[in-house]
Amino acid sequence: MGLLQLPPEVLAMIAEHSLPYSEELSLTCKQLYNGITPVRQRHIDLRKQYRNFFFTPSVAKVSDLLAEIAADPVIAAYIVHLNLETRQHCEDGEIDDEYIEKMNRKLAPLVLGSSHLSTLSDDQDGLHALWLREIVHDVEHEKKGDGQAEFCIAFLVSLLVNVETLTMPSQWCDLDIMRGSDSTPPNPVIALLQLLVKNANNKSLKNQPLQKLRVIKPSAEVDTQGGTDLEPLLPFLALDSLRELHHWCAVFSSGYREDMPFTALGRNMEVMRLEDYVIYKDAARFLFRHMKNLRVFEMEYSMKDETGYGFEADDFMQYLIVGAGGSLEKLLLIGNHVWPDTEVLNCSLRGFTRLKHLELSTLFLVNGPGALGPGYGEENCETEEEESDDEDEDEDEDEDEEGEDDQEDDEAETEDDDEDEEGEDDQEGDEIKGENNEDGEEDASDGEKEDAGDAESDNQEMSDGEEDQDKTVDDVPEGITRLYHEDGTHDDMLDFYPEDRQTKYRNGNTVWRLVSALPETLETLVIHTPAAPRNSSCVERMFLYFEELRAERLPNLKRIELRVSLRTRWGDLLEGGDDEVAHLQAFFADKDILTKFEVYDDVIHWINRDEPTWW
């Protein structure tokens, strides 16, 4: 081997220039290992100090780290796991002429020699000087006014060719610059990040900054009342290398616009875990539309201070199906602080063609104050009694005619209990219109079946609404539902089983039944529910016809769990919670359905309950 014939001094020089890969080089043979021993110790020291980097009192600011990199550029290559959340900024009295002169002297070679800034400058002499001035001053973006960002962070990541995991601060830029707001010329930070993303996604280019970034981790320093935002992470979500996003206590409200600087998000994303989160409908469409490789999606929906009312759960789910329906294997959608005006889930999940694990909260299937426990609605929500006399009379007649069917009697009794407990609830539409006719279909007369069908047809027309009357549905295949978009496009998804007649609530929503809505690939099902009357009734209705059709439609489903919480998200005991637990236990006692029934007397964040926190 010719390399081994070189003098030790030359081998040491080669090893020096091969940092941080000298260790792999030295392990190729014993002679090389002995020849580069002095360099190997330097490699070990650099790796120990910078591989997992977080800020300390000695290196407290991003500009401090950049000064160290300027003095020894190889440091940037050693940074693999970077935590930026604890970085400090220059204090008000710190920046004087002496400080500026000192930092200019340290940072000028690094900044003025940046090839990325040279690409962006387009012969503009002032661009490098602008970046140097902003990096030296290193102040919070909020102190610089609207439409600003921290130049230091953007410049630092432009040096990181080996970074694999990144923890960003909760706030480091103005949201408007990520949303493509009127900014002419483009913000310099956005221009640099766009160049970095473009180069990193170019497979023909090697050793590009951020090209190895795979995981975004959450910042622990977050205002839990107001939350933070997802928008500052959009440049990193646009990287093709990114595989995992872990984020918490945040809001994503930006819908897609063509002039946004980063529009194709998560093209190779595989795992997304969002805890204590709010995502708006239009933002969901924007977020998921390119995620064709997403395997795991876990989200705990929880509104923030004055943010997150009226969660459109059905639209959210449909956009998730459109984006990741062909790849998703695990889905967890749990509710924490969910307001009563949530628009409930009303679509089939059969569009998830590879889904194996599903965890779902009844908070997205039952809306109204009753979903939060007796007494909550009267204290926190304006309620208005809904007219339901005609329906009550119909249900009473059905109950008399179907008295021989024990299952139907149980369902009718459940509905009557709900009416007694929640008569003042403005969302009392959870009592089913025509359900007794359907549940007693085998014993009912032909006339009764026809009446039930007419009632459901009327309700279907009501649920479609006037907004859809100008759309043609003749070309939609049976068993397919069509999701129309404001831009005139549409997406088709698998609907409920076409042979199932879908019973409707008075408000037009579908009675969501597991055997009609779940994909046949499912192996594990976990239902989360508070111990409140309407949620208990919802659980019972979810399992209608389950025993009869499970083997045919859900042949792979082996594990079914029900997890019941006795407390509100604030930690207060739900009134009558023990009675609801007993009610559910009695319902499942004679049924071979559940593999586990758990009751929790604690406030639990479901996403990370079985694993350590991400940070």
CA distances for 466 relative to 6, 344, 421, 471, angstroms: 83, 20, 33, 10
Looking at residue 27, its pLDDT comes to 52
Domain boundaries, the chain: 3-44, 54-244+254-268, 325-370+497-614
Q: Which residue has the higher pLDDT, 474 or 303?
A: 303
Half-sphere exposure for 162 (CA within 13 Å, toward CB): 16
- By percentage, how much of the chain surpasses pLDDT 90? 50
Structure confidence by residue, pLDDT tens digits, 135-180: 999 988 777 766 688 999 999 999 999 999 999 998 898 888 888 7
What separation, in Å, do the N-terminal and C-terminal C-alpha atoms of the chain show? 47
Confidence of residue 441 (pLDDT cuts 50, 70, 90): very low
Is the link from the previous residue into 20 a cis peptide, with omega within 30 of 0? Answer: yes
Write phi, then psi, for 97 (nearest 5 degrees).
-60, -40
Residue 612 reports pLDDT greater than 60: no
Residues 6+ apart with CB under 8 A from 164: 80, 81, 212, 213, 214, 215
Looking at residue 265, its pLDDT comes to 96
- By percentage, how much of the chain surpasses pLDDT 70? 72
Half-sphere exposure for 38 (CA within 13 Å, toward CB): 8
Looking at residue 94, its pLDDT comes to 84
Looking at residue 255, its pLDDT comes to 83
CA distances for 615 relative to 193, 219, 225, angstroms: 25, 8, 20
For helices 389-401 and 406-421, the axis angle rounded to 10 degrees is 160
Alpha-carbon gap, residue 45 to 64, rounded angstroms? 19
What one-character DSSP code corresponds to residue 602? Answer: S
Structure confidence by residue, pLDDT tens digits, 523-534: 999 999 999 998
Looking at residue 406, its pLDDT comes to 40
Residues in the chain: 615
Residue 459 reports pLDDT greater than 50: no
What one-character DSSP code corresponds to residue 230? Answer: S
Confidence of residue 374 (pLDDT cuts 50, 70, 90): very low
Looking at residue 9, its pLDDT comes to 61
Looking at residue 366, its pLDDT comes to 82
Residue 343 reports pLDDT greater than 90: no
- Does residue 334 sit in helix, strand or coil? strand
Looking at residue 438, its pLDDT comes to 37
Looking at residue 339, its pLDDT comes to 82
- Contact indicator for 250, 277 with CB cutoff of 8 Å: yes
Structure confidence by residue, pLDDT tens digits, 407-436: 334 443 444 444 344 333 333 334 443 343
Query: Among the listed ranges 25-39, 307-321, 474-488, 592-606, which one has the minimum average pLDDT value?
Result: 25-39
Residue 393 reports pLDDT greater than 50: no
Looking at residue 219, its pLDDT comes to 86
In terms of Cβ atoms closer than 10 Å to its own Cβ (0-12, 13-18, 19+), residue 576 is middle
Looking at residue 567, its pLDDT comes to 87
481: its two tokens: 């539902």
- Contact indicator for 405, 347 with CB cutoff of 8 Å: no
Looking at residue 71, its pLDDT comes to 97
Structure confidence by residue, pLDDT tens digits, 53-85: 999 999 999 999 999 999 999 999 999 999 999
Looking at residue 21, its pLDDT comes to 59
CA dihedral 536, 410, 368, 382 (to 10 degrees): -120
Looking at residue 101, its pLDDT comes to 96
Looking at residue 297, its pLDDT comes to 98
Residue 465 reports pLDDT greater than 50: no
Structure confidence by residue, pLDDT tens digits, 263-290: 999 999 999 999 999 999 999 999 999 9
Structure confidence by residue, pLDDT tens digits, 177-227: 888 765 556 789 999 999 999 999 999 999 999 999 999 999 887 877 778
Q: Which residue has the higher pLDDT, 572 or 369?
A: 572
How confident is the prediction for the chain on average, in pLDDT?
Answer: 79
Concatenate the DSSP letters of all residues of 278-296 into one string: EE-HHHHHHHHTT-TT--E
